[in-house]
Amino acid sequence: MQNKTEAIAPKPQTNHIAIAIIAGLFFIFGFVTWINGALIPFMKTINELTDAQSYLVASASYISFVVMALPASYIINKVGYKKGMSLGLFVMAFGALIFIPAAEARTYWVFLTGIFIQGLGMTLLQTASNPYITILGPIESAAKRIAIMGIANKVAGALGSLIFGALLLSGIDGVKDKLAFVSEAEKETLLNTMADSVVTPYIVMAIVLLVLGFLIRKAPLPNLEEPETPEETSATTAAKTSVFQYPHLWLGVLTLFFYVGAEVIAGDTIISYGISLGFSSEEAKFFTTFTLLAMVLTYGLGVVLIPKYLKQHKALVISAILGIVFSCCIILTSGLTSVLFVAALGISNALVWPAVWPLTLDGLGKFTKTASALLVMAISGGAVIPPLYGKLVDLNNVSLLSEGLSESEAIAQAATSSYWILIPCYAFILFFAIWGHKFKSWRR
């Protein structure tokens, strides 16, 4: 446990350096997370998967947050924020190296293992960096600081999506056309060659992560402890001994669960969705970038508006309403218009994470690290909801084919109609924004 005598409030200029360093970490796991949009159609092709199976890429990445969040909280309590961040980078580097034997064997579960291990490292980073940036300044402006982190995260995601889209998806349409006509031996050769294209990028990624892991140990990050709050020392909460006594925390965890599921659908399905609507892979590889740029622009608005002109919970209300509206528009439109409404979900998603964290952690004091671990566990929504979307697409596709639709029409309609799964997600976010975050105790 960090020594409380070291928990001296850092000077403003030190804050700026610390914010810049944490933004760099958000850039790293943004880059790694958002390449899933390119990996999903890539894995679907080289491993000959169904839609539901291909979205296990997202599941492998995000289920790690359930497995690792509480252990990560324990580790950070023992070694502190900075060493926890460094360890997270080392684990991510190891996960990247797993892609080498995975490509050699062209075995899906080995790829998923590498993605899962990278997720474990990202869990350590998230569990350390999110509460750290939240308590690095006044709680009222936490959403503004987290919005800055979001800009770094999504700019990196856009770059990662473009780079890996170019590396992995270029020529994939031609390969898929050939697969229908070549012999079994030629097919194996084509798919093995395609699988090998991940080796060099992931070796480079592993080296970069290892170097950064060593550098973060020397970074000038101030020691911080969660401040006691007036709520924590009041007669109402003085007797609280467990996180189970904070209902708004559990509502916040559920909110993040639904939010991350919706965000991953918006970012990771859009390339496959575009392909299902008839766009080429060369065109569709840019679609994830549209979603992320929409998020970056909205993050920028959040930095300017919060908290001076817009309160955190109001931003959450607006975000949830826009999410419901855009989800309905996806279902009711078609073609490029529908794709653009998926991208527009970036607008509704951008300020949810920055708003939910401070609204949920407010007043938790000594329970902040444990609560942060629970919030990080909620990232598992990205492991559950996207595969449900993929399963809906598969089921609807079979149903439409049985009604006599052509294969291209059936997959397009199935992919569009299955976006209804987003509506209950945003409805719960709206509930938390209006009422749930105020429910600070089981008794009033």
Residue 226 pLDDT class (50, 70, 90 cuts): low
Name which of 216-225, 281-290, 422-431 the model is least confident about.
Answer: 216-225
pLDDT at 262 over 60: yes
Amino acid 13: pLDDT: 46
CATH T-level topology, domain 15-222: Growth Hormone; Chain: A; (1.20.1250)
User: Which amino acid, 178?
Assistant: K
The residues near 330 (Cβ < 8 Å, ≥ 6 apart) are: 338, 341, 342, 416, 419, 422
Name which of 163-167, 343-347, 385-389, 417-421 the model is least confident about.
Answer: 163-167
Amino acid 343: pLDDT: 96
Most confident of 129-133, 224-228, 253-257: 253-257
Amino acid 94: pLDDT: 96
Amino acid 223: pLDDT: 67
Amino acid 225: pLDDT: 58
* pLDDT tens by residue, 146-166: 888 888 888 888 888 888 888
The pTM (predicted TM-score) of the whole model is: 0.76
Residue 55 token pair: 């979205």
* pLDDT tens by residue, 56-101: 888 888 888 888 888 888 888 888 888 888 999 999 999 999 999 9
Per DSSP, 222 falls in state P
Most confident of 16-20, 243-247, 290-294, 319-323: 319-323
DSSP string, 8-70: PPPPHHHHHHHHHHHHHHHHHHHHHHHTHHHHHHHHHHHTT--HHHHTHHHHHHHHHHHHHHH
pLDDT at 267 over 90: no
Between residues 326 and 39, which one has the greater pLDDT? 326
* pLDDT tens by residue, 389-410: 999 999 999 999 999 899 889 9
- Taking alpha carbons only, the member of 272, 276, 201 closest to residue 44 is 272
Domain with CATH 1.20.1250.20 in the chain: 15-222, 243-443
**Cβ 394 vs Cβ 276: under 8 Å:** no
Q: Please give the mean pLDDT across all residues of the chain.
A: 85
Amino acid 182: pLDDT: 80
pLDDT at 424 over 60: yes
Q: Which CATH architecture has domain 243-443?
A: Up-down Bundle (1.20)
Amino acid 4: pLDDT: 41
Between residues 2 and 267, which one has the greater pLDDT? 267
pLDDT at 141 over 70: yes
Work out the average pLDDT over 192-215.
91
Instruction: Using alpha carbons, list the distances in angstroms from residue 208 to 31, 169, 213, 335.
Output: 12, 23, 9, 39
Between residues 193 and 341, which one has the greater pLDDT? 341
User: Which amino acid, 249?
Assistant: L
